[in-house]
Amino acid sequence: MHEIGFIRDLAVVMIVAGAATILFQRLRQPVLLGYILAGVLIGPHMPGMLVDDPRAIDDISNLGVVLLMFTLGLEFSVRKLRQVGIGVLAVAVAEVGLMLWIGVGLGELFGWKGMDTLFLGAIIALSSTMVASRTLSESGQRHLPFARLVVGLLVAEDMLAIILLTLLTAVAIGGSVEAATAFTLIGHLGLFVLVGMILGLLLLPRLVDYVAGFGRDETLLVSVLGICFGASLLAVWMGFSVALGAFLAGAIVAESRSVGRVLRLVEPLRDMFAALFFVAIGLKIDPAMLVQYALPALLIAAAVILGKTLACSLGIFIVGHDPRTSLRSGLGMAQIGEFSFVIATLGLSLGVVSDFLYPVAVAVSVVCMATSPYLTRSADGLADILRRVTPRSTRVLAVSYSGWLENLKPVNENAAIAAIFRRLLWHIAINVLLVVTLFMIGAYVNAHNWTWFATFGIGRDLRHTLIWACALFLSLPLLIAVYRKAEALGMVLAELGIRESLTGAYTRQIRGVLARVIPLATLLGLAVLVSALGSTILPPRGIALSLVVSGGVLAVVLWRSLVKMHARLQAALKDTLDKPEPPAGSDAA
């Protein structure tokens, strides 16, 4: 009978979700708010309850989490992350850190236990991508400059959310986390994401485009959902959450040329399961507990609105935007949403937070969702009021600061040189990360598969030698690429930094020395880094030295082949990431 009961509960949820959509569209309020309130009304804590099966509620919620995170990943995409910019990324990091600190402080002020305060900080640290993007779209402001900044902040926060989810899982399981453990966890997370993204970007977008070539929507949809749930299971098997796997799968599929068609097929599922997810949130809420914690919830909501508005506005202004645009960006971020619910659900499922934290998180979200449209629409009025009350000297200082930053931006020849400089640094950084990843994979294999080696009679020293040799030889194309990019970087820096007016006849020689020193110093620094990271798999000193010499000889002999191999891999990855932006509503590959 459970199957019939589940269908009945699902039917009730979908009926009330449909009614909530119609009603809240008429009221010009976020429909997500309607879903949550509808879930409260039909939940097990209300008279005449319509849905009372906890298993059905959990099934609905878990399925909703996977598909919701997958669609968020589809809207994330690596290309958007590249377009965010270091300034907006720094603002997002600072804002999330500040809100995390404020949340912990508020929890301690209320006298809550340590785990509740930590999860509260994480809950209020992350803005809602769905609420913010829908508010911008419904208000017709998606094309304005501040909207692009809001989207950039949301993309950066999505990345930070994955780090928070992983750390909170470790804290919840272990009870506490030390700095060394935190860095280890972030390293494992980075390894999983980096390897998953690189392998995924080389394989999955092409697979999706190949399937799209059949011209059958059913085949494409089923294949994409298979990727979604397969990645979720892989993430769980690796010790992470299903949310991480689903989000990563979405971000990789978003790089396919058929992403417009995939989005068209997935959007109805996204809307359906978003409705299920948010109604399921309401189903878990006890209104009596909401009344009991109404005052803390209101105080936390006020802290979210004020804290996020001030942090984002000030940060956006500092990185070079005018005060009005900065304020509108801050007001667009003043809410919490889906990631906050995922974090609250994580705490409840692991049994480390109090029962009241989930309804408090929902109450805070409801207040923020209800006020978000009004804050966005009143941004210009608030900006005018602030302009009138701000002293003239402060306004002049703000305008002067914005103008000064504008003058610092590279133009003409300097802009071209700056672009080359940034490109070289990015190439070096990516290749260094790949080298580090290979040695971290080796350390992971050594730590978790030593019994497999033992079955073949392979001892510790031989195991370390084999693993380290594989990591070293697989790194050769990447090491050569780092050297060549660092050599080009050295030439650029030599041309810019060594002036003939100062060095006279020795200019050419000094530039040549600098151009050689920089790549060698880069390789030396990389060697130190790899040695530190690969210390657990380092073979005996004599063998390690022999392997390094062998690797050097092999690199010289196969230099051209290794360069070509790296170029092909780089071209394949670049072709995936630099695909043209698909036109809105396009189904073409």
Residue by residue, DSSP assigns 413-465 as: HHHHHHHHHHHHHHHHHHHHHHHHHHHHHHHHHHHH-HHHHHHTT--HHHHHH
pLDDT at position 587 is: 43
Rounded Cα distance between 355 and 346, Å, is 12
**432 and 482 Cβ atoms separated by less than 8 Å:** yes
* CA pair distance 521, 203, nearest whole angstrom: 34
Closest CA to 51 of 4, 1, 10: 10
Q: How far apart are CA 70 and CA 76, in angstroms?
A: 10
Closest of 365, 320, 370, 319 to residue 342, by C-alpha: 365
The pLDDT value given to residue 306? 92
Half-sphere exposure in the Cβ direction for 518 (13 Å, CA): 21
pLDDT recorded at residue 60: 66
**Nearest-CA neighbor of 51 among 86, 94, 17?**
17
Query: Angle, to 10 degrees, between the axis of helix 129-138 and the axis of helix 145-174?
Result: 160
Give which of 314, 296, 333, 315 is closest to 133, Cα–Cα: 333
156 and 89 in contact (C-beta within 8 Å)?
yes
Q: Are 112 and 120 in contact (CB under 8 A)?
A: yes
Predicted local confidence at residue 535, as pLDDT: 65
Report DSSP state, residue 333: T
Helix (H/G/I), strand (E/B), else coil: 579 = coil
Q: In Å, how far are 119, 191, 249, 469 from 436, measured between CA atoms?
A: 32, 9, 23, 14
Where would I find the beta strands (DSSP E) of 189-297?
Answer: none
Q: Distance (Å, rounded) from C-alpha 273 to C-alpha 538?
A: 49
pLDDT at residue 303 in the model:
92
CA–CA gap between residue 420 and residue 427 (Å, rounded)? 11
Q: Which residues of the chain have pLDDT under 50?
A: 1, 583-589
Please choose, from the candidates 456, 61, 13, 6, the residue with its C-alpha nearest in 3D space to the C-alpha of residue 243.
61
Q: How far is Cα 436 from Cα 530, in angstroms, rounded to an integer? A: 6
